[in-house]
């Protein structure tokens, strides 16, 4: 029997992910490659008891075709929470647009944009809910 996750469950995953992100940023600091933060986040989330997939291919529909690898999610937590990892001095508007597009195309309910390149973790953390429903 497949258990259906509620939005409340996804919010719990998101809070755990934020806590893990803060711990990773505190321990490693800024200045490393995205891949290092992605690996550290995945390990921290698994240690917290969550199922995590790294560089998960996400299929998308385009012009009547199914593209098996429309994009790759940096981290997919419990099959519901998308995490996009960045390591830049400052987030740009395109980073938010990227995650919003990923959420819309994948149908996942919630996404976190986590930038580990800033002086503080709080300034590089953004939360996005998927308000897009295709009606399909």
Q: Tally the domains of the chain.
A: 1
- A 10 A CB-CB count for 10 gives 19
- 67 lies in some domain: yes
- Nearest CA among 90, 114, 121, 96 for reference residue 34: 114
Q: Any idea what the Cα angle at residue 22 is, between residues 21 and 23, rounded to 5°?
A: 90
Strand partners, 127: 112
- 134 lies in some domain: no
User: What pTM was estimated for this model as a whole?
Assistant: 0.89
Q: Is the CB of residue 10 less than 8 Å from the CB of residue 63?
A: no
The predicted pLDDT at position 6 comes to: 58
- 135 lies in some domain: no
| Domain limits for position 33 | 7-129
Q: In whole angstroms, what is the distance from residue 100 CA to residue 95 CA?
A: 9
- 136 lies in some domain: no
What tens digit of pLDDT does each residue of 18-34 get?
Answer: 999 999 999 999 999 99
């Amino acid at each position: 029997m497949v258990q259906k996750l509620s939005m409340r469950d996804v919010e719990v995953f998101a809070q755990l992910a934020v806590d893990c992100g803060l711990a990773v940023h505190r321990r490693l600091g800024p200045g490393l490659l995205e891949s290092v933060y992605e690996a550290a986040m995945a390990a921290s989330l698994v240690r917290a008891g969550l199922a995590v997939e790294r560089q998960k291919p996400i299929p998308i529909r385009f012009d009547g075709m199914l593209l098996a690898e429309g994009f790759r999610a940096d981290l997919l937590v419990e099959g519901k929470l998308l995490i996009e990892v960045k390591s830049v001095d400052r987030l740009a508007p395109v980073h938010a647009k990227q995650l919003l597009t990923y959420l819309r195309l994948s149908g996942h309910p919630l996404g976190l944009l986590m930038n580990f390149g800033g002086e503080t973790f709080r300034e590089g953390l953004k939360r996005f809910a998927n308000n897009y429903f295709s009606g399909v």
